[in-house]
Structure formats: structure tokens, C-alpha cells
Amino acid sequence: MSLDSILSISEKPGLFKLITKTKNGFIAESLIDGKHLSVNLRGNVSLLSEIAIYTLAEEVPLREVLKKIKTKENGNKTSISHKDSKVNLEEYFFSVLQDYDEDRVYASDIKKVIRWYNILQENDLLHLLEEDNKDEEE
């Protein structure tokens, strides 16, 4: 498994693991409650491996941002909640990624990143961040 099999589905909370493809879409399993969900191909779905965060110089892959959070938190859950105030979220994110573009990265984006990190951590999937790099190196 890699970040290529972890999905974010619009209008659905949390993250999902790709189970299988179907003729009209795919079946995904929620990493929050384990429930299965059928998703149509027309649904707005993003692979975590395809998401990037804007910085002042470039776009940084989400995997790299999550690795920075993992390093900051020593592999534990984040020291703040995704429900914290906008100011606290921005301060935290600045401590992780100093040059993120404050005009294009909104508090709602930071909330998602923190929530996704915590979901991956709770499901013991942070190792996927390292495995993706090994795949790229080969």
C-alpha cells in the first residue's frame, strides 16, 4: 500500500483506502469507521500522493509536509487539533512549513492536513510516507 491508495473524497469526512475498482467507479473503506463506500467516477476524489501545498517558491508534495509534521511530533498525534482557532492553526503550520503561501493556503486547507496526518497516525499508516520515497528512488 502507498499514498496512491489513500483518498480524500469531497463532501465526505476523513480519508479512505481504495479497496477495488468497479465498472462505474470504485469501493473505498473509511479510515475513520471502517465503513465501505461506493464512489462514482464523476465524484471529486483526490489521491494524497497527488496533492501539493503552495509555498512562496514552489508546490511542496503533501507527503513532504506530512513528513515534516511527523518529525515535529516524533510520530505522535499533532499537538493541536484541526478544530483549533485559525491563528493557532496558522502558527502551527508556519512552524512546519515556514514559506507556505498564506494567500493560497487557507485555514481550511491546514485543518485538512492536520486531520489527515492524525488519521494516518491513528491507523499506523505514517510508514507510507517513507515507502513512497523508496518507490521514487528505485
Q: Computed over its alpha carbons, how large is the radius of gyration of the chain?
A: 15
How far apart (Å, rounded) are the C-alpha atoms in residues 91 and 125? 26
The pLDDT confidence band at residue 134, using thresholds 50, 70 and 90, is very low
pLDDT for 5 beyond 80: yes
Q: Are residues 64 and 132 in the same domain?
A: yes
Residue entry with cell 511530533: 73
Instruction: For residue 52, give the nearest of 44, 62, 65 by alpha carbon.
Output: 62
Report the predicted TM-score, pTM, of the whole model to 2 decimal places: 0.89
Q: Are residues 31 and 74 in the same domain?
A: no
Q: Are residues 57 and 108 in the same domain?
A: yes
69: its cell numbers: 509534521
The one-letter amino acid code at 16 reads F
Q: Are residues 30 and 10 in the same domain?
A: yes
Q: Degrees (nearest 5) of the Cα angle 32, 68, 90?
A: 80
Mean pLDDT confidence for 2-31 = 91
Mean pLDDT confidence for 105-122 = 96
Q: State the pLDDT at residue 123.
A: 94
Q: Are residues 41 and 87 in the same domain?
A: no
**Number of separate domains in the chain:** 2
User: Which CATH number does the domain housing residue 20 bear?
Assistant: 2.30.30
Q: Are residues 72 and 110 in the same domain?
A: yes
Q: Are residues 63 and 37 in the same domain?
A: no
The one-letter amino acid code at 124 reads D
Which residues form the domain of 82? 52-137
Q: Are residues 129 and 97 in the same domain?
A: yes
Q: Degrees (nearest 5) of the Cα angle 21, 4, 76?
A: 125
What proportion of the chain, given as a percentage, has pLDDT over 70? 94
The pLDDT confidence band at residue 130, using thresholds 50, 70 and 90, is confident
